Structure 1
């Protein structure tokens, strides 16, 4: 693939009318593949957003391509909500059927593709990081030279503390999960997770089937996040404990210091953000009612 593929097959476009490579000729194009629950995309997004705004007058067009990882991410209202939450104002193609993903032969979230003014793809990058080099690539393609943008991610957009991460991303459904849950979550080995109460284990998710059902994870990282969805349409309260007590100063952006949270719609929920020193801890999440769906733990 050397030229920008067409964006045909999109289920719709947000923030724009449909765009084509021919219509984009003469502009530098940055294509960003993402999905709304991906922690790596969330931590990358403030940079892409800043570039879109900083270089628009120089001829840069950023195009987001939302290709869903989980079934509930096909919901276009959730995608719209994510755009509002992240203050994304550049064009986004809704790639629910993986048509654009396949045209690019892409395999990653997030993924950046850089196209020059003639429509030739000159560079790409998969995952987080490499921000300085990516911005310098944009400046070279645009023919500009000036100080790089300053970006400071906050909340779930804050960069990971890789020096303290000792726990890997962990999928919970049987289709991608590598570890079975521990039957007695009160005695969790390090880097293992367990269930208590009633749970249904599906292909891509686990679902609570009784009030008070609990997930626990023994992890080490500054941040502990959990992708959740709510098929009931009614807000669900949940309680988070850290080593058996309220998290206090270690609470994440989506819960209070006493561990209270509300599952309102499908997205990534930041449960824990430890202040230094970061140590191994056990997080527990208990749902007040049945119906909560959990997909993957991520850490940062």
Structure 2
């Protein structure tokens, strides 16, 4: 009994000493933040170094010791550094790595996206609005363009997409997905919010959650400046009701295809033209082809001068990721009626050229429809359907 009491008192003394020691280091860390002393050497990769905002050299602790006693390390992960990538657009430093002076002591929003993804495209007006509203308050937005298809690796295509979507914040060209992998990401789009000390404090997968994300931005900015106003950014953006979308994203090429074509050939031959004919009845949410087409892995390419794509889908809008090096036209029919979509001319023709997402159909209501896209011009390549 006496031994047990002695043991309990010894344990209590050790615990009390530990609490005081933790509090002492917490006070050191908080004081360094309060005084604005990062004390860290500039990071060549851009993200705040491990000791930023946590004492650094001025605290008398090295980086490992400072990191070990930062209470945030018990709750949050450090953001990975921006290492090798293909280049940067919309940055004052050109293709050089983002300088640490741009990010040190800042709140950083990392947006991983790719330009032919409709889910990404619909988030961009919000991200640009946050850049315009909060850049002067300490927010730095960094787009990370991690491609899905090969054509999305071309710098000129990414630059065109940034201009088309009116983006003015820096975007890293992450062609080898090194940043994507460093964040252990698996989704487009994906947003990570990083505080001034370099810790990931919030992340969001996919579309939506815009108010929540903006509140998180404001919360982290208020850690730097309590006077940050709580008014939300004014954003004009396309809305979507996901509960009304009955058709998932569908891929054409055999390398990406998750379900077979409705009139798929057997065996599937690579880069060899095969003739496709439409059946009498179409199963829902399945792609059907008409004419001569070649399977190129990522795409199905029209080999004949004319062809068609048909699908029974359920949504309000239909988008097609496509390209045509020689120039082709696409005309959409809902049932037997010509549909004048968002990108069609007065005759209902959509000019297909550069590699991007084309807006084929937009109706007033969510509904199930039979869509036939008549294509003129050999060399037309289809990558994927997306719906909204």
TM-score for both structures, normalised by structure 2: 0.72
Q: Secondary structure at the match of 2:385?
A: strand
Check whether the contact 2:118–2:357 (CA below 8 A) recurs between aligned residues.
Answer: yes
Structure-2 residue corresponding to 1:270: 359
Alignment of 1:1-300 (within 5 A): 2-16=77-91, 17=93, 18-20=97-99, 23-143=102-222, 144-153=228-237, 158-183=238-263, 184=278, 187-230=281-324, 232=325, 234-248=326-340, 251=341, 253-256=342-345, 258-276=347-365, 278-300=366-388
In structure 1, what is the Cα distance between the partners aligned to 2:315 and 2:279? 19
C-alpha deviation, 1:186, in angstroms: 5.1
Q: Secondary structure at the match of 1:61?
A: strand
Q: Secondary structure at the match of 1:197?
A: strand
Q: Which runs of 5+ in 2 are unaligned?
A: 1-75, 223-227, 264-277
C-alpha deviation, 1:164, in angstroms: 2.4
Range 124-133 or range 183-192, more displaced: 183-192
Alpha carbons of 1:152 and 1:23: their partners in 2 closer, same or farther (altered >3 Å)? closer
The structure richer in helix per residue is: 2
> C-alpha deviations, 1:172-214, integer Å up to 9, x for none?
1112212222232552122222000011123221111111111
Q: Secondary structure at the match of 2:77?
A: coil
C-alpha deviation, 1:290, in angstroms: 0.8
Alpha carbons of 1:95 and 1:185: their partners in 2 closer, same or farther (altered >3 Å)? farther
Range 202-211 or range 220-229, more displaced: 202-211
Check whether the contact 2:317–2:361 (CA below 8 A) recurs between aligned residues.
Answer: yes
Highest relative contact order (Cα 8 Å, sep 6+), 1 or 2? 1
C-alpha deviation, 1:273, in angstroms: 0.6
In structure 2, what is the Cα distance between the partners aligned to 1:265 and 1:83? 15
C-alpha deviation, 1:235, in angstroms: 2.8
In structure 1, what is the Cα distance between the partners aligned to 2:370 and 2:344? 16
TM-score for both structures, normalised by structure 1: 0.92
Check whether the contact 2:144–2:171 (CA below 8 A) recurs between aligned residues.
Answer: yes
Higher-Rg member (1/2): 2
Q: Which runs of 4+ in 1 moved over 6 A?
A: none
> C-alpha deviations, 1:56-77, integer Å up to 9, x for none?
1101000000011001111110
C-alpha deviation, 1:114, in angstroms: 0.4
Q: Which runs of 5+ in 1 are unaligned?
A: none
Check whether the contact 1:161–1:222 (CA below 8 A) recurs between aligned residues.
Answer: no
Check whether the contact 2:102–2:140 (CA below 8 A) recurs between aligned residues.
Answer: no
